[in-house]
């Protein structure tokens, strides 16, 4: 699917991987609805980008808010052709420790946002995509989800995060099969260690230590590199039902 002339709904679109993806899609001639939390910089970011971008405040776990964001996108831009899901969270905590078991509500919260929130958005976007006129390849839409290398090599304290991202990976193929008959593709990107606002909170020695673990290139990933892959997935009609590691050959150690 050519990006030019398409409309994307990008969650977590106000910062980090999501913001880089919004910029990439606009640069390729698309339009984008930035979906993020009300307290995010989404409104200011959309204003900076101009008429081809807009902001919809929504919690990805809230069905009514995502329904409203989808409708706002259609009302403003006419359709949804692309859905990129970057909204997510993490919680580093061992299964049990001297303080006792990991609180169940923390585990549930990470699953709710990363896994259920992702499915909530994509199911609603896919339903809207079925209304599109198919292109010459029969495509009506493309969905790109965000997992993590933690889905495969989860570290100490990552039980909740790894479970949530593993769920995103596991549902990719069955959703691709679900949506094949209506001409919608879906892929998942599993990034390694990327230079995002979350990592920016770490002191520089800690950031350098993380970068040193990556075989090549020995540096943190850059959000535009994630965005470039998301765009390629959209543009390459044979990419479907696949999870792609984007990690510089990183395999995470236990800690």
Q: Write out the catalytic residue numbers.
A: 161
- Torsions phi, psi for 36 (to 5 deg): -160, 180
User: Angle at CA 8, nearest 5°, toward 117 and 123?
Assistant: 35
CA distance 18 to 168: 17
Given a contact cutoff of 8 angstroms between Cβ atoms, the answer to whether 108 and 167 are in contact is no
Residue 101 to residues 58, 89, 104, Cα–Cα distance (Å):
32, 20, 8
CA distance 86 to 96: 29
Residues ≥6 apart with Cβ < 8 Å to 60: 11, 35, 66, 85, 87, 113, 117, 118, 120, 121
CA distance 232 to 236: 6
């Amino acid at each position: 699917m050519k990006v030019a002339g398409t409309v994307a709904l990008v969650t977590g679109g106000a910062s980090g991987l999501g913001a880089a993806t919004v910029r990439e899609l606009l640069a390729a001639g698309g339009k984008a609805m930035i979906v993020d939390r009300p307290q995010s910089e989404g409104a200011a970011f959309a204003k900076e980008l101009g008429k081809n971008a807009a902001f919809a405040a929504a919690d990805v776990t809230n069905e009514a808010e995502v329904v409203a964001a989808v409708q706002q996108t259609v009302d403003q831009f006419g359709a949804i052709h692309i859905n990129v899901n970057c909204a997510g969270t993490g919680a580093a905590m061992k299964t049990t420790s001297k303080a006792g078991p990991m609180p169940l509500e923390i585990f549930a919260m990470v699953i709710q946002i990363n896994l259920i929130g992702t499915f909530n958005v994509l199911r609603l976007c896919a339903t809207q995509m079925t209304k599109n006129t198919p292109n010459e390849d029969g495509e009506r839409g493309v969905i790109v989800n965000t997992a993590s290398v933690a889905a495969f090599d989860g570290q100490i304290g990552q039980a909740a995060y790894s479970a949530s991202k593993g769920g995103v990976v596991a549902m990719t193929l069955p959703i691709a099969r679900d949506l094949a008959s209506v001409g919608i593709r879906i892929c998942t990107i599993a990034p390694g260690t990327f230079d995002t606002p979350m990592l920016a909170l770490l002191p520089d020695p800690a950031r350098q230590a993380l970068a040193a673990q990556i075989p090549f290139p020995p540096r943190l990933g850059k959000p535009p590199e994630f965005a470039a892959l998301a765009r390629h997935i959209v543009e390459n009609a044979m990419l479907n039902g696949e999870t792609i590691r984007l990690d510089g050959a990183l395999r995470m150690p236990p800690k």
